[in-house]
Amino acid sequence: MRYFLVCLTILLISCQKEQAIVDPLEHVLKSDSPLIKIVMDSIHNHEVQIRYTEISRENGSVSFKDHDFNIDDSTYFYPASSVKFPVAILALEKMRQDGSYTLNTPFFVEGDTAITTLGAEIKKIFAISDNDAYNRLFEYLGKDYINNSLNDKGIAPSRISHRLSTNNAYELRTKSLVFYENDSTLNHTEGIDNNAIEELQLNNIVKGIGYYANDELIGEPFDFSLKNYLPISTLHDLMKRMVFPEVFPKDQQFNLSSEDRDFLLTSMSSLPKDNGYVSDEYYDSYVKFFMYGDSKEPMPEHIKIYNKVGYAYGYLTDCAYIKDVKNNIDFMVTATIHVNADGIFNDDVYEYEEIGIPFLAEIGRQIYNYELTKK
């Protein structure tokens, strides 16, 4: 009888474990962790959307199993700097198509005193999420080229409409670029006139109870209808195409050489210190929210996070492929959360450090721990 009870107990525990991992994302979100509970207990305030992908390999092929929470392409959130991800890829692709210059060819943008290279700008985008770097690539590509290129590859829905943190954010005409080497001009790109920006027709496109403009509080909701749009499903799909291009048909892949792709992946996984940013401000997880975002301690060398974050207007977004080379674990997770308790935009009062980043960090840790149990 005692043996029977022991066996029954083991069976029940085993069944509970099996039950717990039927939907691992749901299991994580039901965690007792206060970092998760503080969000889940008031989920209606935070616009959380998450997609987590388990990655399987068999007979040389890769397959995905997606787990979603509240994924809804028709409900708007502000993607912030996550839009730099597709723009960096497309700049590299266009460079190869143009064929006149390389990652290391110096160039400058009309009216800009900085002389730089495409390689340097892409590195800055991933190392510290530099806005000027994004804006230079935006001038190189143009709004219409970006959107048409993404649509041609079936990367949708999305709409990139503007530069970031600059007075000419919505200027339709791009500036010209001059590429040169040894004081000899190689290529002078002409400015491009782009089509007018159309208003987005999405749910929750008008938000909050007020916003600041020119240091004045405007007592009405903030309209995001002209802003960039890059939902979780599209961001996540971008990451799949970058890490596992062979899973997609040729016409849906980015036209990158193996060297281009290696450069991009290296840039995505690099830390600020790898690119010369060594001040206390730029700690390892400065732009890596999952797993380590709530800590300023050095990240372990065996865990590589290939990602792009965005944070603005109280929105925090991270799109990541996480790989543990020591334990042979890899997975993808993309998520967004809104932390703007007062409902006022542009007041710089957001709960990033108190709620948003700790939530994303803990989500990453718990998914990682689940992946460990599968080994």
- Local confidence band at 187 (pLDDT 50, 70, 90 cut-offs): confident
163-177: pLDDT as tens digits? 999 999 999 999 999
pLDDT of 181: 78
**Does 137 map to a domain?**
yes
pLDDT of 184: 78
Mean pLDDT value across residues 295-323: 99
**Does 25 map to a domain?**
yes
Helix 232-243 to helix 258-269 angle (10° resolution) is 120
**Does 15 map to a domain?**
no
**Does 12 map to a domain?**
no
Q: Which domain holds residue 345?
A: 20-373
Q: What whole-number distance in Å separates Cα of residue 219 and Cα of residue 208?
A: 10
**Does 291 map to a domain?**
yes
Total of domains in the chain: 1
CATH value at residue 152: 3.40.710.10
The percent of residues in the chain predicted with pLDDT above 70, rounded, is 94
**Does 155 map to a domain?**
yes
Q: What whole-number distance in Å separates Cα of residue 29 and Cα of residue 143?
A: 37
User: Is residue 227 over pLDDT 60?
Assistant: yes
| CA nearest to 295, candidates 360, 343, 341, 217 | 360
**Does 129 map to a domain?**
yes
Mean pLDDT value across residues 68-95: 99
Whether the model pTM is above 0.85? yes
Would you state the structure tokens that stand for residue 238, as one six-digit string? 């971008």
**Does 72 map to a domain?**
yes
Q: 139 and 168 in contact (C-beta within 8 Å)?
A: no
Mean pLDDT value across residues 138-144: 99
Mean pLDDT value across residues 276-296: 97
User: Is residue 6 over pLDDT 70?
Assistant: no
pLDDT of 19: 53
pLDDT of 274: 97
